[in-house]
Each structure stands twice: as structure tokens, then as C-alpha cells.
Amino acid sequence: MSDESEDSPPVVRSQDRAASGVPAAGWALGDRFSWDEIHQRLLASADEEIDSTLSELFFSGFTAGFAIVLTFIGYTVGTATFPNNRFLAAVLYPIGFMYIILGRYELYTETTLPPVKLVLTRLASLPLLLRMWSVVLLANVIGAAFGAFILANTHVLTPAEMEVGAEFLQHGLELGWWDLFFKALFAGWLVAGVVWLHTAVQDTISRVVITYLVFFTIPVLGLYHVVSSGAEALFVMFLKTPSPGVLTLIYEFWLPILLGNTTGGVVLVALASYAQAERRRYPEIRVLSTREMLFSLKGGRPFETPRPGIQLPENGGGPEEESDTSR
């Protein structure tokens, strides 16, 4: 007969956790994580990425930027084929994002949620966050420029499709600065939500469906993503036709999209859950001082160090889980 009462709460044992120390399965429900469990998984993933070397961040970001050209191709071909049907025109738009996100490459809009949560929980410094953002964004743009240059100077797209691709930029410029900003804000919110939902689910099929539906929503609603829109602007620049000046493209098109995506990802998702994150800091592992938060590059942990864990009460039916530095 088991020594444990049927009414006693479940005990979180070391074998119930992944190698990073985060829950391997839900505590309240076997197939569903609580908010705190999702938060721990997000932090564990983020602090491994934020401590990556500059070369790792750059080449991962470059690959993501180059892959976004698949989205540009898919959306251009779809729009040229179904010019009067938004839904059918956007069918292939998510393809580049699926390649990037499921392949775990670094995309700027994905980094607006996890690293910010590290800073909010004082597990990483602000300069380290800004370093990651800068490297990933630069690499994304360079990768997108490489792909856009190829498309503009080859016959991958037909002349009709190239004309449609150039019209994307013109439509964005006609919207105006603030319209672009708010459209990008909602896109940033959607993308940051994808990161959170990917952490919450436990199977690849769910991740595929979530990624496809969210990124399909962006063109259908006429929203803007900073990297894919950057590819559109760069494509027009590389075409041998008259185009707006570089400063016009940056200030009137790309900048409001960049700020909108960042605001949507940081403010509406990361900061909106600040109150919950504030109550779930992990001082038993490391909490940066204010000076370290503002002026250091501290953050990220070696793989073998302990991760945040749920501390169960001593009278909760089982012992508190001890940290295991061998994982």
C-alpha cells in the first residue's frame, strides 16, 4: 500500500523536470502548464539565448533574415495570383516564419518577449538585452538584404510578380507614419504571443498550427512586420527603377514599423505581465543589483547551473525540490 494519501498534492521530483530544470509536464493538469510553469520555461530558454556569443547571434539572425525572403516570395506570388482575395493571397505568407521559428533561428520580434522577462526578473542586465537586440536586428536586415538583392536581380519572380512586390512598399508609404506604427504594434503583440504559446504547448503539431495561424493573420489584417517589411523596402531599392530615397524608406516606412513591433512585444506582452513576473523572481539563483542591471553585461547561465524551481511548502505532501547542479 502506498504511503501517500490519495488526497495529498502531487510531489515535484527531479525526474519530472527537463534538463534545464523547468517542468517537464504540467502540475495542475498533466497536459497543461500553469502560468508560473510557462514563465519558468520561457526564462530557461531565454537565458541560454541571451548569453550566446556574438557570432552565434549574428549567423542565426542572418539565416532568419534570409529565410524571411520565403515569406516575401510566397506573399508576392499569392497576391499576383489572387489580387482580389486577401485570404488566398496570404496562404503562403507564413512559410518563412515557420522555417525561422520552428528551426529556432533568431528573429528580432521573437526577442522582444523572453529577454525582456529576464530583465524584469533581474536575471539579465539591460545592456545585455540591448546588445542582443542590436546584433539580431542587424543580422536580420543583412540577411533580408542578401535575399532581396537576389530576387531583384534574377528571374525567381516573374515581371508581374516583381511589380506586385514593389507595390507593397508604396501602399505602406501611403498609410502614413502613425498608421504604420499602430499596425506594427498589433503585429508585434501577435508575434510575442506566439513565443509565449510555443512555450505553453508540448508538441510540434500545435506549434505548427499556432505559427501558421498567427502569421497568416498579419497580412490578412494588413499589419506590418519589421523584417518582412524591411525585405520589401530593400527589394525596391535593388530594383533598377526609381524608388524613394534611403532616408525616406527608413524614417517614413521602416522606423515606425520597428518601433511599433517593439512596443507591441515589450509593452503589451512583457510589461503587461510585470506584476506577475515581479512576484516570481528567483533570488536563490541570482538577482542583479541596480548597478549591474544598468551598466554590466551580466546575464545567462551555464547549462549545468540550477534553474528556477517551484518551492512546495514543507507540509504540502512532499519535500521541497533540491537544486541539482549536475543537470
The dihedral region occupied by 122, where left means phi > 0, alpha psi between -120 and 50, and beta the remainder, is left
- The per-residue pLDDT for range 47-77, each reduced to its tens digit, is 777 778 899 999 999 999 999 999 999 999 9
Please say whether the beta carbons of 282 and 123 come within 8 A. Answer: yes
CA–CA separation, 196 vs 152, rounded Å? 36
Residue whose grid cell is 523547468: 22
Who wins on pLDDT, 50 or 230? Answer: 230
What's the gap between Cα 259 and its chain centre?
15
If pLDDT is split at 50, 70 and 90, which confidence band does 290 have?
confident
pLDDT value of residue 316: 45
Q: Tell me what pLDDT residue 7 has.
A: 52
Nearest Cα neighbor of 235 from 111, 141, 102 is 141
Higher pLDDT, 326 or 166: 166
Query: Among 124-128, 232-236, 250-254, where is mean pLDDT lowest?
Result: 124-128
C-alpha 100/C-alpha 32 separation (Å) is: 25
Closest CA to 95 of 218, 233, 201, 235: 218
Cβ–Cβ < 8 Å for 278, 120? yes
Query: What does the DSSP assignment read for 226-268?
Result: HHHHHHHHHHHHHSSS----HHHHIIIIIHHHHHHHHHHHIII
Neighbours of 52 (CB within 10 A): 16
Condensed to tens digits (0 to 9), the pLDDT of residues 142-200 reads: 999 999 999 999 999 999 999 999 999 999 999 999 999 999 999 999 998 898 888 88
- What global pTM score does this model have? 0.79
Q: How confident is the model at residue 250 (pLDDT cuts 50, 70, 90)?
A: very high
* Structure confidence at residue 25 (pLDDT): 65
What is the reported pLDDT for 301? 58
Please give the single-letter amino acid code of residue 146: F
